[in-house]
Amino acid sequence: MHRRGFTLLELLITIGILAVLATTAVLIINPVEYLKQSRDTKRVGDLDTLHKALQLFTVQNMGATPLGAASIVYISLPDTSSTCGSHTLPTLPAPWQYQCATSANVKKVDGTGWLPVDFTSLYGGSPLATLPTEPANIATNAQYYAFVTDGQKYELFSIMESNDNVLGGRTDKTSKDSGDDFTRYEVGTNLTLAPWSFEFTAFPIVANNSKQPGWYKNAGPGTVTVQGDAQTPHFIQANGQVWYGWQENIPYDPNSIYKLECRARQILDPTVGGKSTYCGFNGVAADGVTLVSVSGSNSYGSQHYRAFSGTSLTVAAGWTVATGYTSGYGAPNGTSGTCTNPAAPCVVHANVRYIRPMFLLNYSVGDGIADLDYIKITKQ
């Protein structure tokens, strides 16, 4: 008796069904992850809803009424203190401050809620019955919605909870939203307004291993100031050697390819010392605290310098962009230096579970001046 084999189409359909069943099984087996993804779905939906309402307000208002005050982070956490003093929140650089509404007002759409916009003034009334708040809406792990504005343009942002939705995740939302902060989901009309911008609209300083969004100075006698000019609105300027590491952990997915891009320039050559430029990320172990260099040591030195790695920039060259790619683990050591081909990416040390952006300018102990325009990390 002749038996007919499977056709290619039947095999593809079967594989597709099995993939769906496998994903469903994972979610059933791991209900915690399912809940995280559900909350992330609400976060994305809420911010998109607020974005549309703000767009409507902007069109009707025609700039007559500001959307709020500059240098204020409006958050969805209720508090009796207008400056959110009851909550432990990430450090803000001067002159930034937080603003909260009371529990009675936090969801109101008349401008007294956590979003300082009076939607009831619109023709036809408010498009929102109440202001949405974050599913958890707690200070822990920055699980709240935030809004910043310069009066006319604005930005809304939120933390993603599921590892699938963070930088490098299977459904990465934070590096694919056209914003400048690859640690948060952002929507709005100017996605560089927040003080934690990796395009350096501000430069928040935090403690070592604080796990807060901000920079810790590892070494160097130099200083950093936030600057801007007609061609480049925001950048930081290092006068002398500075060595900083971001302190918020970003989960590392070895199955993803990470593209890291940095833009820097040398303004003034040193009279003493060197002018080497480094830009990449620090590896962090599973405990979220221990650093992991390319050789596995708990050190800020010999880290994963993926964009600039000991690069000597020429003053006359102006801005220089450096790009490097990373994926997977070493056995056990990571790759030293840069890998510019996405088809042949660098690897990290086998103990790395998180990454944190870093930069080092005017090394070693140079007294020159160098600028850093941005750090970008995206999933390929």
Give domain limits for the chain. 29-188, 215-379
> What pLDDT is stored for residue 197 in this prediction?
87
> What pLDDT is stored for residue 4 in this prediction?
55
> What pLDDT is stored for residue 10 in this prediction?
58
Q: What is the 3-state secondary structure (H, E, C) of the chain?
A: CCCCCCCHHHHHHHHHHHHHHHHHHHHHHCHHHHHHHHHHHHHHHHHHHHHHHHHHHHHHHCCCCCCCCCCEEEEEEECCCCCCCCCCCCCCCCCCEEEEECCCCCCCCECCCCCCCEHHHCCCCCCCCCCCCCCCCECHHHECCEEEECCCCEEEEECCCCCCCCCCCCCCCCCCCCCCCCCCEEEECCCCCCCCCCCCCCCCECCCCCCCCCEEEEECCCEEEEECCCCCCCEEEEECCEEEEECCCEECCCCCCEEEEEEEEEEECCCCCCCEEEEEEEEECCCCCCEECCCCCCCCCCCEEEEEEEEECCHHHCCEEEEEEEEEECCCCCCCCCCCCCCCCEEECCCCCEEEEEEEEEECCCCCEEEEEEEEEEEC
> What pLDDT is stored for residue 30 in this prediction?
77
> What pLDDT is stored for residue 173 in this prediction?
94
Q: Can you give the pLDDT of all 380 residues of the chain as single tens digits? A: 455 555 655 565 666 666 655 555 555 567 888 899 999 999 999 999 999 999 999 999 887 889 999 999 999 999 999 999 999 999 999 999 999 999 999 999 999 999 999 999 999 999 999 999 999 999 999 999 999 999 999 999 999 999 999 999 999 999 999 999 999 999 999 999 999 889 999 999 999 999 999 999 999 999 999 999 999 999 999 999 999 999 999 999 999 999 999 999 999 999 999 999 999 999 999 999 999 999 999 999 999 999 999 999 999 999 999 999 999 999 999 999 999 999 999 999 999 999 999 999 999 999 999 999 999 999 98
Domain 215-379 class?
mainly beta
> What pLDDT is stored for residue 61 in this prediction?
87
List pLDDT tens digits, range 325-343. Answer: 999 999 999 999 999 999 9
> What pLDDT is stored for residue 34 in this prediction?
85
> What pLDDT is stored for residue 82 in this prediction?
97
